[in-house]
Amino acid sequence: MQMKKNIALVGFMGAGKTVVGKALARHLGMIFVDSDETIVERERRSINDIFAKDGEPYFRKVEKEVIKEISQRDGLVIACGGGAVLDKDNMLNLQRNGVVIYLQTSADVIFERTKNYDHRPLLNVENPKKQIEDILK
């Protein structure tokens, strides 16, 4: 069996993709890449700013480009943004050059991990816990 070249972590925001990804990369001697951080660097602005000024469709377009590019590299542990799995091409690109691991977390845990962060544009709503539960359904 041929060893896959990358490890891509997917899951809901707050599932622990970044924390687990950094630890996994360190343990395996691989390079850690966060797709959201890559987008922020490329766009030179925050994800909140991208959502506010250009909307989610623009963000998803940039995310798709970033995932396509980084998934072609080798030896990476990739933490993907929570919505990356919604695009079939993202998943195909990640699977083409690696293994994809889904980090599953309960709505309660996600809420506790994300409730004090204002950089989660999809949770900037009146009832973020309900929003999390609705998205996870």
- How big is the CA angle at 116 (ends 113 and 121), to the nearest 5 degrees? 90
Percentages (nearest 5) of helix, strand, coil residues in the chain: 55, 15, 30
Check residue 84 and report its DSSP letter. Answer: G
Determine what percent of the chain is predicted with pLDDT higher than 70: 82
Rounded to an integer, what distance in angstroms lies between the CA atom of residue 92 and that of residue 69? 13
pLDDT tens sequence across 6-46: 999 999 888 899 999 999 999 999 999 999 999 999 999 99
Q: Which residues, at least 6 apart from 82, have a Cβ–Cβ distance to it below 8 Å? A: 11, 12, 13, 14, 15, 122
Domains annotated on the chain, with CATH: 6-105 (3.40.50.300)
pTM over the 0.75 mark:
yes
Q: Which residues on neighbouring strands pair with residue 98, listed in sequence order?
A: 6
